[in-house]
Structure 1
């Protein structure tokens, strides 16, 4: 992006506003667009700040709005098959995402993490480990602040750890992390990406511009990623991790200990009982964070120390409280069936499960298959409750209750829970049918639990 370009920024959410500010700070001109005609123009402009080089378009975009526009920066929430994108394409205006804009404008070293599940925990942990080694570390993406919001303060000495979604990877051009990681690939966002093949291809695009000087961390247990890593087509060096197999090189398990293997020689990293993170999927997140950090030159002792002290990310298998012998966990970030499977497996005893929400065209069979011998009662809320109930009954699970909202679901769970039980909010669905975000859903859950 050159400094004086006229840029159309699509979307007035957090990433859109951050992108607009960055372009204006660099001397560019911004046409800020949002398809919601009901927004208050003054409120939107106030988010960016008073700037003569900012104009605002709400509602439908017209060809005349694009006069002089040389580039479009699109927010991750806008699908590439939307009518808006068709208008921009027709005007032959190149489209990039907020991720690419930030990358082109930033300085320093970059690590990037993607995957269907575990991104937030792995990104947060990798950031903490790198902060123990480097003075100037930024942790950006879906976690915390947008990448574009931090670009202006970065220097050549900065180290950035970015959590990257499939929506962001759809619009990259030159984006090239020094170290990338793909944690796993399971069905998600198929309402957006249409086919599993598309989704896999987009996730794997994180390595697109990497060279032999770079590295990619991959999950050996994921059949899609194992095939990708062993294809011989990847330029970056592959570093494997596995929670199920012994590896000659990479990170794996020896009993309850995470170990680093080099040419078959094992070095212990940490015993899993010394960590605050629960469940096998978290052992994998720890291995990925350790692999990325080691690639950046962080000594193993330092990596171990940070892992030992690290606490779970909010809304991801987060312990809320114990009451009358019942432990309550908030996993509001479990927004797809695979994430919900990991949370359920992490519960050490009989579980009362609160689930349901916005329908992302997910299938629930694999998740429901985990209920046997573990879930005592399933309490359903939201748009998907009939679909999930039908799936559960098909698998022979009938201990199902409906609640009108989350507060009622928490009340019901408290009534039915016995000493030694676990109450888990892990919806297996997005939150948008009843809440603004999974964060809001998690906060309300915690509030209800604390008020019991």
Structure 2
């Protein structure tokens, strides 16, 4: 963006407020918009210094609200099919996302991570690995802190690791990571992206501005990504990782060890028995993070040290407590069936599974096919509970109970669990409707577990 522009910021969540502050810091003027007419002007303006050049518009947007506006920064939560976007498009105002604004205003080198699952763990681990070499390391994006919130602190010596969603990739223009990573692609957010082909295309857009000399880290085991990585039109260098294949070049498994192979030589990365991260999917996350670290010049000995010390991210197969011989795990970040599959596979024994939530038009058959020999009881909550129950019954699984809220779900599991069992919250669904976000859902689960 240019300084002194009048910018429409659509969305008043954390990323929207951070983007507005960045525009103001650069000398611009802000029109802060939210479709929720019940919000209060004074509450929103309290996020800024007194006298800041901020005008608030709530409810329906009108063409007159856009007078003088030269640019729109849109929240990733607003669909590009929304009536709001139609009004902005009709006014011929360019639309960018928060990560594009941050990229255009920021400096230093950038690693960007996307994929259906594993983004948060990989981003957090990659950030810790880069901190071992670089004093100015920023970890931003969906992981918690908006990219725009840290831009003004960045210098040419900075390195930034950004977790990037498909919603954010829809609105990039010049966004160009030095190193990108696509961890995997499985069906998700089809209520937003409509088709799997469109969802795949958007994920792969993370590389669209990369050039020779840049790098993309890809999952060799993912058929979509294997085909993409072998395309002659792909500009950046490809670094592969695989938890199932023995690669000639790239990161892969050798027994219980993660190794990096190049030109016939193998270098040890980590012994999975020394790691605190559980499950094969986490071995893949570790490989991707190690690949990013290596591309940024972090010595392998430092990468190994960080990997072995790294603790699981909150809400992602997070151990909560053991009570009367039963272990409780919080996987609230498991917001789609594939993520929930990985959590279930990581459980050490018989499992009582709490699932259900907001319907993202997901199909649950593949997830439910993992239940035999693993899931003892399925406790369902939320909007999708009937849909999941019907799918489970079609697969012959009938140990199903309903709960009205998280407290009841946890209490039911505590009653039916036996010594050696695990209780797992891994919903396979979004949290909306019952909770503000997956983080609130996870916190409520942990509170209920600790109250037992």
Q: Equivalents in 1 of 2:145, 2:201: separation in Å?
A: 26
Query: Which residue pairs with 1:219 in the alignment?
Result: 219
Query: Which residue pairs with 1:269 in the alignment?
Result: 269
Query: Which residue pairs with 2:183 in the alignment?
Result: 183
Q: Equivalents in 2 of 1:427, 1:144: separation in Å?
A: 21
Query: Which residue pairs with 2:282 in the alignment?
Result: 282
SS at match of 2:305: helix
Q: Equivalents in 2 of 1:48, 1:248: separation in Å?
A: 54
SS at match of 1:314: coil
Q: Equivalents in 1 of 2:251, 2:378: separation in Å?
A: 36
Q: Equivalents in 2 of 1:50, 1:167: separation in Å?
A: 33
Q: CA deviation at 1:78?
A: 0.3
Q: Equivalents in 1 of 2:328, 2:232: separation in Å?
A: 46
Tell whether the 8 Å contact from 1:96 to 1:172 is kept in structure 2 after alignment.
Answer: yes
Match runs of 1:8-407 below 5 Å: 8-407=8-407
Q: Equivalents in 2 of 1:51, 1:281: separation in Å?
A: 50
Tell whether the 8 Å contact from 1:3 to 1:27 is kept in structure 2 after alignment.
Answer: yes
Q: Equivalents in 2 of 1:250, 1:133: separation in Å?
A: 22
Q: CA deviation at 1:396?
A: 0.3
The answer to whether structure 1 residue 438 and structure 2 residue 434 are counterparts is: no
Q: Equivalents in 1 of 2:92, 2:451: separation in Å?
A: 56
Tell whether the 8 Å contact from 1:247 to 1:264 is kept in structure 2 after alignment.
Answer: no
Q: Deviations over 1:235-273 (max 9, x none)?
A: 000000000001010000011110111123221111111
Tell whether the 8 Å contact from 2:326 to 2:421 is kept in structure 1 after alignment.
Answer: yes
Q: CA deviation at 1:47?
A: 1.6
Q: CA deviation at 1:132?
A: 0.8
Q: Deviations over 1:56-91 (max 9, x none)?
A: 100011001111111100010000010000000000
Q: Deviations over 1:298-338 (max 9, x none)?
A: 00000000000000000000000011111100000000000
Query: Which residue pairs with 2:424 in the alignment?
Result: 424
SS at match of 1:47: coil
Tell whether the 8 Å contact from 2:24 to 2:52 is kept in structure 1 after alignment.
Answer: no
SS at match of 2:177: coil
Q: Deviations over 1:127-180 (max 9, x none)?
A: 001001111100000112100000011111111000000000000000000000
Q: CA deviation at 1:410?
A: 0.4
Tell whether the 8 Å contact from 2:243 to 2:280 is kept in structure 1 after alignment.
Answer: yes
Q: CA deviation at 1:50?
A: 2.2
Q: Equivalents in 1 of 2:98, 2:275: separation in Å?
A: 35
Q: Equivalents in 2 of 1:185, 1:355: separation in Å?
A: 22
Q: Which of 262-271 and 402-411 deviates more?
A: 262-271
Q: Equivalents in 1 of 2:56, 2:447: separation in Å?
A: 38
Using the size of structure 2 for normalisation, the TM-score is 0.99
Q: CA deviation at 1:48?
A: 2.8
Gaps of 5+ in 1: none
Query: Which residue pairs with 1:447 in the alignment?
Result: 447
Q: Equivalents in 1 of 2:183, 2:264: separation in Å?
A: 23
Q: Equivalents in 1 of 2:48, 2:72: separation in Å?
A: 17
Q: Equivalents in 1 of 2:88, 2:443: separation in Å?
A: 38
Q: Deviations over 1:183-203 (max 9, x none)?
A: 000000000000001100000
Q: Count residues in correspondence.
A: 452
Change (3 A) 1:305 1:52: closer
Using the size of structure 1 for normalisation, the TM-score is 0.99
Q: Equivalents in 2 of 1:406, 1:242: separation in Å?
A: 37
Tell whether the 8 Å contact from 2:270 to 2:304 is kept in structure 1 after alignment.
Answer: yes
Q: Equivalents in 2 of 1:445, 1:33: separation in Å?
A: 33
Q: Equivalents in 1 of 2:430, 2:73: separation in Å?
A: 25
Question: Where in structure 1 do 4 or more consecutive aligned residues deviate above 2 Å?
Answer: 48-52
Q: Deviations over 1:74-116 (max 9, x none)?
A: 0100000100000000000010000000000001110000000
Q: Equivalents in 2 of 1:183, 1:51: separation in Å?
A: 45
Q: Deviations over 1:206-225 (max 9, x none)?
A: 00000001000000000000
Tell whether the 8 Å contact from 1:7 to 1:69 is kept in structure 2 after alignment.
Answer: yes
